[in-house]
Structure 1
């Protein structure tokens, strides 16, 4: 490498590092003269005000942000005096053919600007001209590039709905990041609040300070009104808040109450469903007969355990149920702390409470069974929805829910998209329906 090329490369990389932050620009600088410098530039595509994605027939959604393009480059020793950077483009919502169109345009830009540093020009051109190069104006039709269902193919595929879900998740995270860097006037208390202390509604993008949202949610939860909690900022927004949104605003104790009451309401609505005390699988119980034994007998089809539906122990016929002193104390404590509506519900289903561990204990066990520790800061994180790319609520690290590996800040989805990765094509593994 000539001294001139070396100095130009160093100056160009330093300039990029000063312009772009660590989530947008990442490089591995050459340690000796014979090695080449590698790096990644993350490019956000500029969208018009009215831009939509289509992912099913007659299913379209307005979006403000799309997942970025990843420009992975290697600088030859004779760049920029002779050779162009070697590069590869990646983008989850583009086909190979579309990426090839962008690559050809970048090569043309190099030909027009030979012997000059080109990386920032490529970056700005991809940001401003990608839609023009792909002949897109106001719509990204995912149906043209991705199937509606997975088909047999040598190449792994994502469906149009899965790509749309990835776009939705990315846009939501992007808005949260942008909000965290701003100061807003809370529409409730009219105080100026840092974005990091604000709540963002995913559906209508309404913003308010967390103390106001916390007060609203706690009032409803403490009153036992846990069903159909919708956006408190925008009266016309009828989208129900997710458990994750509620958990981000209220204390753990209040969220535990919300979780417990919501679970109770769900169980109460199913009079003929009870859970097996051994394997916790649902069991259908015949009720409403004159035969007391039939009303109190449960038989699990999964583990074949025959139990009493009142106390949850092995079926004991007409003999009375036996409860431990500690369990009776726990039930009494819960009854003392319950609202009048909750006390009535407990009294109405008195036998059902005794056939299982207390809801508090059940909720704690569920957390231990389902939560996983962040590999960066070790706090427990529970996955309530979305794909397998997780964001820690404490340290904001990205990690894989499947293997718990820390993910790149600039390319967290590469862990799932690159052949050879142990979680290749597992971004949506274990994810159910995405009805958003």
Structure 2
């Protein structure tokens, strides 16, 4: 009896130990599975408590273990600086300064959605507004397919008050200069915008006809073309070259020592403080000589300053002029050599291109014929 009881007791204890080992094995498997899930979670930089599988959700001990492991994973995730940088605040490479900045320090353009660091965008706008290029401010990336435009409300958010006022003033002046139906009064101290008669206004500068314009503020009557006092039957050329300018308006002077002259095409006033004698009008992009007002649009080699009254008056040394001409000749010669070298290859490749194109067309026709009607 005692031996039998001992055997039963031993058997019961053995079964109990087996169950404990079995339970321990299950616990080990559950814990290993939970650790693997937590490692997977940390590598993906996202904490998901629902990703942990619990085989016996009703056991409070296992629930407490899971909560502790999730809390430990959350703490290690928040402490890891690299993981936080990758998941929350990634680094963006600015295409202007070519440096990596955090996402919170970038600015996204509204039109094209391009990202730049905010400091570079502010400096970009400051340079353009200071230089007077305010009519068409686009994305600074030349390879941007959309070439997004920056409107006034977007520019106002990025620049200070004084710079934005300059932007508005320059943009308004530019709009008036380009509008054939409006012009500024040339009287000193009078910035009134006067209306030009629509019958004489034209969208083309070459077809523009002079007409008298009356300023509603100061009462000055001036010519809409040369901005001098209305000269009646005299043409603008006669007034300009005979020196019959009055005090009103800026004189069109051809004298060499004059600091202010008018563009020979659009007659906008131009002031020359320093630099060479080759001038380009910012309004009509006309290139001319400052001294004699001769057109230099087609004079790529600047041969105008080799002879005549403007000889050696360009304002550059002889060596710089020769270097400029060498560069121009080199560019044209390079294009010629490139075309000469590439022409045989183009002739050889032309039949292949045509054959491939014909083959594609035939395939398209066969596909269309095979379609059920």
TM-score w.r.t. the length of structure 1 is: 0.26
Give 1 or 2: higher strand fraction: 1
Larger Rg: 2
Higher helix share: 2
Higher RCO (CA < 8 A, seq sep 6+): 1
